Amino acid sequence: SMGLRKGKDDKADSEMIAHYALRFRSQAALYEPMDENMRSLRNLFLYRQSLVAERQAKLVSSKEKQHISSKSKSDNFIYRNAQKAIDLLTKSIKECERRMLEIIKADEEMYRNYQHLISCKGVGPITSVMLIVYTDNFKGWNAKKMASYCGIAPFYESSGSSVFHKANTGGYSNRRLKGILTQAARSAITHNPTLRQYYLRMKAQGKPYGVILNNVNNKLLHILFSLVLHDCDFELDHEAKRALLA
């Protein structure tokens, strides 16, 4: 980004960084640190995610040793030890979830948004906490920006008459968030009548499952942001009902 240079030293680097900052000072955004509650909630959420990954690894090891036909003493030991670790990790995960809920309940606005989110069928506590954490309780974020950040927003490429690629999702995304949101979308397809009808309609049209799931992800995300924006719980045909009230 600094072009062709001969040599390197901190003084020259500092000068170039200062010139860059001066040139784009009109676009500078001041950093706003998280409050203590949000920081604690974020740390607990990330710690829980690491515990879940560790438990999954232990589950795979445990099942592998369980299905070995000729178990040795070492295999039995590994299986028993893995089961103990799984139980301990499960307790730790539950404790993280309890502490996260305590933090949310202590903040009136955060708890109100949390209640709106979990009112949508298919969306559980973890998805709700994830959205609260990564949007700083929905401050300065909208559904389109979040969809792009999660990697579920399609983009196309066009240039003159020679370059045109149809809209598709890219690889630049927060994969952790995309995975959690995709799990919520799969649950919503089963339990949320609105999104299930959409899924069946797209399936009947012959749309690929991956495309339908990504669309459901987008619709679900827009619904959740709408619930927080309008300060209301989810109900069937809530957009149509809100339009009638207006």
Rounded CA-CA distance 181/150 in Å is 8
pLDDT, residue 217, reads: 92
Q: Which residues of the chain have pLDDT under 50?
A: none
**Residue 212 amino acid letter:** I
Nearest alpha carbon to residue 110 among 96, 91, 125, 121: 125
**Residues in CB range of 139: below 8 A, 6 or more apart:** none
Segment holding 193, helix H or strand E = helix 193-204
Encode pLDDT of 151-205 as tens digits: 888 776 667 666 666 666 767 778 888 899 999 999 999 998 889 999 999 999 9
% of the chain at pLDDT higher than 70 = 88
Tokens for 171?
């690889």
The residue type found at 199 is Y
Q: Give backbone dihedrals phi and psi of 166, rounded to 5 degrees, phi first.
A: -65, 160
Task: Give the DSSP letter string of 76-110.
Answer: HHHHHHHHHHHHHHHHHHHHHHHHHHHHHHHSHHH
